[in-house]
Amino acid sequence: MAVNLAEIAENIELRDDGLWHARTSSRVSYPEEGNENCFEVEEGSFWFRHRNDCLIQMFKVYPPPGTFFDIGGGNGYVARAVQDAGIEVVLVEPGPAGAQNARRRGIRQVVEATLEDARFRSGTLPAVGLFDVIEHVEDDRQCLRDLNRLLIPGGRAYITVPAFQQLWSYEDDHAGHWRRYTVGALSQLLRETKYEVEFATYVFGFLPLATLFIRVLPWKLGFAPKRVSKARMLAEHKPGNPLVTHVLRVLTRRELARLASGKANALGGSCLVVARKTD
């Protein structure tokens, strides 16, 4: 049965466009055009596809104990994969473009709001996902505490974030990031905010070196672009060279097989953590 959002959120209402809307609106650290740019890139992107594959693998081993809430879920690319896997999904996204795109993707329940503005009641969310979200939050510790309060006892949180501050570049500036993480630092932060870390790993183990040469060094040498264009995003996410495409396919399959066997990676461009509320 679908969750009744009106019963668990105090500040949202269902409007004629089929979306739930908050009655108030807060600012977020994310570029206004971000969701629209990603919408054109997501389909066919090796990066978005592999992240989805890794997440679905985590869901098989550590299933949500109820409805899954995709917080800051953007255009619904992850939410659609989770929904297609047979899990009930609610997408919570403050950006109007992202919320509308998610609805067009077929996400059945979409809340156009920040988590703060929606005002979900304590102890009502069985599982939450924050996929490349908390790096956009200035006070990540308070964000995780707030999420912990909203989760049911034993509720799960699935988190991905960009890895290694040494890989900071113009892309992080443009995206509105506050920081990058290590698996150890994120795991410690979760433990300090009353979560039990069930699995923690790096993913995209083949990207740090490429990121260093393509993004970090040009940025440090003063050759970084003033803005991240749609064409540049497409080139990075959908390489046209057949050999590069083949190599990426081999590398992503190997990494996914490693995760499927329960093995964590020691290096990667992103961190992926599954944690459980300990209260």
Ranges of the chain whose pLDDT falls below 50:
none
Q: How many CA atoms lie within 13 A of 117 on its CB side?
A: 21
Q: Is 133 within 8 Å of 71 (Cβ atoms)?
A: yes
CA-based nearest residue to 114, from 145, 84, 69, 171: 69
What is the reported pLDDT for 24? Answer: 85
Q: How far apart are CA 100 and CA 104, in angstroms?
A: 6
Token digits of residue 6: 């009106």
State the Cα–Cα distance between residues 157 and 198, nearest whole angstrom.
10
CA 103 from centroid of its chain's CA atoms = 18
What is the predicted pLDDT for the residue at 163? 98
Distance CA 222, CA 225 (A): 9
Distance of CA 70 to the CA centre of its chain: 8
φ, ψ of residue 89 in degrees (nearest 5): -125, 140
The percent of residues above 90 in pLDDT, for the chain, comes to 78
pLDDT at 235: 74
Write out pLDDT tens, residues 168-189.
998 999 888 999 999 999 999 9
What the block records as the tokens of 12 is: 């949202």
**pLDDT score of 188:** 98
Q: How many residues does the chain have?
A: 279
Domains of the chain: 5-277 (3.40.50.150)
> What pLDDT sits at residue 234?
72
The two structure tokens encoding residue 91: 């997408």
Residue type, 101: N
Contact 252, 46 (CB under 8 A): yes
The torsion of the CA quartet 115, 8, 190, 93, rounded to 10 degrees, works out to -30
Q: Mark out the alpha helices in the chain (DSSP H runs).
A: 5-8, 34-42, 46-61, 77-84, 96-104, 115-118, 140-150, 170-175, 183-192, 208-211, 217-220, 230-237, 242-260
> Are 35 and 141 within 8 A, CB to CB?
no
